[in-house]
Amino acid sequence: MNIIIFGPPGAGKGTQAENLVKDYNLFKVSTGDLLREEINKETKLGIQIKSSISRGFFVADDIINTLIENIISDSANQNRMLFDGYPRNFNQVKKLDLLLNKYNQKIFSVINLNTDRDTVVKRLLGRIVCLKCGSTFNKFFKPPSKSGHKCESKHLITRSDDNEKTIIKRFITYEEKTLPILNYYKKQNLLTNIDGMNKIDEIYKEIRQIMP
Ligand SMILES: [Zn+2]
């Protein structure tokens, strides 16, 4: 089955996607990964991508669509694709429909991790990482002091790229872009909203319920 997963930054989408990939043998289709892979392999497309990124441009939809078609046309991926971070705009939605049709593929379900602004801010602002052992914590939800963490506190760092203004701006942009896409899938009865403010394993339990 092919799945699309949506959620704002900080909704824990990456973790849930990983769970699904592992438990249902899905193939994660992330445009970020595809672009990086193309750049690393130094393909003709990869060189083009690298040049737009280095000049500060967005990667054109045409390039994204070509990469996505490469994935969908490959029978090894068919009926097991988990789209993560794609489609990102309405052009991509339409293109995805065309490609799915062309290769006789269907979307089984569209999962939306519904998360409010405050939760996202707290999750991202509260992030703490231990540089010694790699454990992650959260100042609000999972403080290292209460998690039985043994390393000295000097190893703990907060992520400096997550300041509140940036987080809120990213959240608003995400909502504006994603709402019309969610409505589109809702009209086709494909959308399932999942409470992204729950604990991670509770969220995953809910996701499992919609899987066959
Ligand atoms: Zn540690």
Split at pLDDT 50, 70, 90, the class of 67 is very high
**142 CA to centre of ligand 1 in angstroms:** 14
Please, what is the angle between helix 44-54 and helix 61-72, to 10°? 140
pLDDT at 160 (0 to 100):
62
Question: What three-state secondary structure class fits 83?
Answer: strand
Q: Report helix, strand and coil shares of the chain as percent, to nearest 5.
A: 50, 15, 30
Average pLDDT value for residue range 37-58: 89
**98 CA to centre of ligand 1 in angstroms:** 48
Q: Is the pLDDT of residue 14 over 90?
A: no
**150 CA to centre of ligand 1 in angstroms:** 6
**143 CA to centre of ligand 1 in angstroms:** 12
- Cα–Cα nearest to 85, from 142, 34, 141, 154: 34
Q: Is the pLDDT of residue 3 over 70?
A: yes
Residue 208, C-beta contacts closer than 8 angstroms, at least 6 positions apart: 23
Average of per-residue pLDDT values in the chain:
91
The C-alpha atoms of residue 29 and residue 34 are separated, in whole angstroms, by 8
**146 CA to centre of ligand 1 in angstroms:** 13
The C-alpha atoms of residue 15 and residue 196 are separated, in whole angstroms, by 12
Q: Is the pLDDT of residue 4 over 80?
A: yes
Residue 89, C-beta contacts closer than 8 angstroms, at least 6 positions apart: 61, 177, 181
Average pLDDT value for residue range 92-99: 96
Split at pLDDT 50, 70, 90, the class of 54 is confident
Tens of pLDDT along 100-116?
999 999 999 999 999 99
- Count Cα neighbours of 145 within 13 Å in the Cβ-side half-sphere: 3
pLDDT at 162 (0 to 100):
67
The C-alpha atoms of residue 93 and residue 186 are separated, in whole angstroms, by 13
**155 CA to centre of ligand 1 in angstroms:** 7
Rg (CA), the chain: 19
Tens of pLDDT along 117-176?
998 888 888 889 899 998 889 888 889 988 889 999 999 988 766 688 888 988 999 999
Average pLDDT value for residue range 9-16: 86
pLDDT at 134 (0 to 100):
87
The C-alpha atoms of residue 87 and residue 91 are separated, in whole angstroms, by 8
Task: Indicate which residues carry an active-site annotation.
Answer: 13, 88, 127, 159, 170
**3 CA to centre of ligand 1 in angstroms:** 35
Tens of pLDDT along 159-203?
766 688 888 988 999 999 999 999 999 999 999 999 998 888 899
Average pLDDT value for residue range 74-96: 94
- pTM equals 0.84
Distances (CA, A) of 171 to 5, 105, 186: 16, 31, 21
